A and B are shown apart, each in its own frame.
Chain A
Amino acid sequence: MLKLCNGLISPTSGDIYIHDRPIEQFDPVELRRTVGIALQHAPMIKGTVYDNLALPLKLAGKKLSKAKALSYLQDVGLDESFLDNDIKDLSGGQRQKVSIARTLVNRPAILLLDEITASLDPQSTKEIEHLIEYINETYQVTIIWITHHLEQAKTIGHYTWIIMEGEIVETGESSFLASPKTEKARQFVKGGLT
């Protein structure tokens, strides 16, 4: 679903608006820089952490300074010694952090997170959750996060959509998760449906 918002795929029906503008009216490159996405498996290019952080600017024909790269690393809670590390040497959690930092380099207005904690251990998941809250405040960026962890939606999300089999079951401020109105949403919250 998030790939639809980032323009990596197009909807077969329906419309998507970004800031009241249909996404078809965006130039694909402009759209993808405005709406950043951190993909589920945090794909990386070969090379170092710096090579990956510098990628968005390199694609635009610009260069990322070492100082700026270090500040992005700091923002995602990674030590500056990671900058020259080979990407192959990072853990799953560290890769996700680099992936998020790399998406931030484009300074997107909207940040899409595609099940980024799905394959992480509890400790790394907690770190990513804190990181997302920090980024939301520091970068003032709208974050849309797809998750199967109900607690993440309850504690971090301001607004929640419960989507089942492609349909929105219930939506509202995340507090509704305490007492959903629809039967399907109630069952989902109880853990009866996934």
Chain B
Amino acid sequence: MSFTALAMTLIFVLIPLALSKTLKLGLEKDTLIATIRSIIQLLIIGYLLQFVFDAEHAVYMLLMILLMIIAAVENVRKKGFFIEGITWKVALTLVMIELLTQGILIGLNITPPTPQYVIPISGMVIGNAMVLSILFLNRFLAEVEAHEEQSELILSLGGTPKQAIHSQLISSIRASMIPTIESQKTMGLVQLPGMMSGQIIAGADPLQAVLFQLLVVFLLLTTAAMSSVMLGFLAYPTLFNERMQLKTIRKA
């Protein structure tokens, strides 16, 4: 696709802008900011990827992944204000997910250890883990606050912090995983996944595109399960003090 053709696609930005202006939705500024940011960010990443692919050096590849993890941690951190040490907990979760998924893919020779494979797959894994972690933390905070009396009851009867928070933890993990599972149920029927569509548009064999998409689907299931479970079990002890008392949740 040429830059001229891309410029013409800006028509798709003008439509929501016109609608927002006509219907007084007040979204013109945000739409413009989102458009400009996406152009700048994607062009930067495009040139950066070009450089990393040409350099063919593991250090650049690792730096790219590190950058993705730092950006993801920064995004999740804000939503986890009520958890002590949220930064390192999210970082540990993301690093473990990345190590596990790439370890299996490269270790079992499913994908080669080259930047062309490692970076896009890492991007999908880390990006998905980031969204899942945010979903989990939002739900977990709501659950803990809504069921504070029940947690207190369990503690008052001699229950441990884990028992006091168990049902809230489980329902938050379930709630954050459900969108991934549900969207995968309708994949191919309601929507063609982005990566697969991109490959097909770029001229790849549709069957090869499907095989890679399936790999991503399975990866994202692991990512969904691991991110909420790991973050959940790292996070819940910080809601209690050493006397097994529920701490007051400080506001953001």
Residues of A within 8 A of B (CB): 3, 6-10, 28-30, 32-33, 36-37, 39, 41, 43-45, 55-56, 59-60, 102-103, 106
Given contact pairs A28-B243, A43-B149, A45-B150, A6 touches B156 in the complex (Cβ within 8 A): yes
Instruction: Please measure, in the bound complex, the distance between the C-alpha atom of A186 and the C-alpha atom of B244, giving whole angstroms.
Output: 41
Contacts of A7 in B (CB 8 A): 243-245
Whether A9 and B245, one on each chain, are in contact in the complex, defined by CB atoms closer than 8 angstroms, is yes
Can you spell out 17 A-B residue pairs with CB atoms less than 8 angstroms apart? A3-B156, A8-B156, A10-B243, A28-B243, A28-B244, A28-B245, A32-B155, A32-B157, A33-B158, A39-B149, A39-B152, A39-B153, A43-B152, A55-B154, A59-B160, A106-B157, A106-B158
**Cβ contacts B146-177/A at 8 Å (1 or 0 each):** 00011011111111100100000000000000
Instruction: Please measure, in the bound complex, the distance between the C-alpha atom of A43 and the C-alpha atom of B147, giving whole angstroms.
Output: 10
Given contact pairs A41-B149, A59-B163, A29 touches B244 in the complex (Cβ within 8 A): yes
Instruction: Please measure, in the bound complex, the distance between the C-alpha atom of A178 and the C-alpha atom of B181, giving whole angstroms.
Output: 69
Which B residues from 18 to 65 make CB contacts under 8 A with A?
Answer: none
Whether A29 and B158, one on each chain, are in contact in the complex, defined by CB atoms closer than 8 angstroms, is yes
Contacts of B163 in A (CB 8 A): 59
Contacts of B155 in A (CB 8 A): 8, 28, 32
Whether B157 and A56, one on each chain, are in contact in the complex, defined by CB atoms closer than 8 angstroms, is yes
Whether A102 and B149, one on each chain, are in contact in the complex, defined by CB atoms closer than 8 angstroms, is no
Contacts of A30 in B (CB 8 A): 158
Contacts of B149 in A (CB 8 A): 39, 41, 43
- Which residue of the partner chain B has the closest CB to A37? B156
Contacts of B158 in A (CB 8 A): 29-30, 32-33, 56, 59-60, 106
Contact of B159 among A6, A9, A59, A103 (CB under 8 A): A59
Whether A8 and B245, one on each chain, are in contact in the complex, defined by CB atoms closer than 8 angstroms, is yes
Size range of the chain B interface in the assembly: 10 to 19
CB distance from B176 to the nearest CB of A (A): 21
Contacts of A36 in B (CB 8 A): 156-157
Contacts of A44 in B (CB 8 A): 153
CB distance from B168 to the nearest CB of A (A): 12
Given contact pairs A8-B152, A45-B150, A55 touches B243 in the complex (Cβ within 8 A): no
CB distance from B87 to the nearest CB of A (A): 28
Whether A55 and B150, one on each chain, are in contact in the complex, defined by CB atoms closer than 8 angstroms, is no
CB distance from B248 to the nearest CB of A (A): 10
Given contact pairs A43-B149, A59-B163, A10 touches B156 in the complex (Cβ within 8 A): no
Given contact pairs A8-B152, A43-B149, A45-B150, A55 touches B245 in the complex (Cβ within 8 A): no
Contact of B160 among A3, A6, A29 (CB under 8 A): A29
Contact of A59 among B152, B154, B245, B246 (CB under 8 A): B154
Contacts of B243 in A (CB 8 A): 7, 10, 28
Contacts of A43 in B (CB 8 A): 149-150, 152-153
Instruction: Please measure, in the bound complex, the distance between the C-alpha atom of A45 and the C-alpha atom of B151, giving whole angstroms.
Output: 10
Contacts of A55 in B (CB 8 A): 154, 157
CB distance from B243 to the nearest CB of A (A): 5
Instruction: Please measure, in the bound complex, the distance between the C-alpha atom of A45 and the C-alpha atom of B152, giving whole angstroms.
Output: 11
Contacts of A10 in B (CB 8 A): 243, 245
Instruction: Please measure, in the bound complex, the distance between the C-alpha atom of A6 and the C-alpha atom of B154, giving whole angstroms.
Output: 12
Which B residues from 119 to 160 make CB contacts under 8 A with A?
Answer: 149-150, 152-160
CB distance from A192 to the nearest CB of B (A): 34
CB distance from A172 to the nearest CB of B (A): 30
Task: Tell which of B156, B243, B244, B245 has the most Cβ of chain A within 10 Å.
Answer: B156
Contact of B157 among A3, A9, A41, A59 (CB under 8 A): A59
- Which residue of the partner chain B has the closest CB to A23? B243
Instruction: Please measure, in the bound complex, the distance between the C-alpha atom of A3 and the C-alpha atom of B163, giving whole angstroms.
Output: 19
CB distance from A109 to the nearest CB of B (A): 13
Instruction: Please measure, in the bound complex, the distance between the C-alpha atom of A55 and the C-alpha atom of B150, giving whole angstroms.
Output: 12
Contacts of A60 in B (CB 8 A): 158
CB distance from B241 to the nearest CB of A (A): 8
The 3 residue pairs across chains A and B that have the minimum distance between CB atoms: A28-B244, A59-B159, A33-B158
Whether A39 and B157, one on each chain, are in contact in the complex, defined by CB atoms closer than 8 angstroms, is no
CB distance from A111 to the nearest CB of B (A): 12
